[in-house]
Amino acid sequence: MRRIADDRQRYRATYASLENSRKRMKVGDHVYVITDQLQTGSGIPGIVYVVQDSTVDVVVESTQGPKILKVRNREDILPSNLYTHSILNVVYQTYQEIEHKYGSILNLTTEEIVAKLIQRGLAPQTARRCAAILDEIEWLKAQLPLRHWLESIRDFYHRPRLCKETLTSALRSVAPVAS
Is residue 56 located within the same domain as residue 71?
yes
In this structure, the answer to whether residues 88 and 50 fall within a common structural domain is no
Q: Higher-confidence residue: 106 or 6?
A: 106
The pLDDT of residue 3 is: 46
pLDDT over 80 at 110, yes or no: yes
Are residues 119 and 137 both part of a single domain?
yes
So what's the pLDDT on residue 24? Answer: 77
87 and 152 together in one domain? yes
> For residue 75, what is the domain's CATH number?
2.30.30.140
The whole-model pTM stands at 0.78
Query: In this predicted model, what pLDDT tens digit does every residue of 57-106 receive, in sequence order?
Result: 999 988 888 999 999 999 999 999 999 999 999 999 999 999 999 999 99
Q: At a CB cut-off of 8 Å and minimum separation 6, what does 77 contact?
A: 22, 25, 31, 32, 33, 34, 48, 56, 58, 71
Q: Does residue 96 sit in the same domain as residue 122? A: yes
Q: Does residue 164 share a domain with residue 120?
A: no
Q: Which tens digits make up the pLDDT trace of 121-178? A: 999 999 999 999 999 998 888 889 999 999 999 999 987 655 555 555 555 555 555 5
Q: 123: domain range?
A: 83-158
Per the structure, the count of domains in the chain is 2
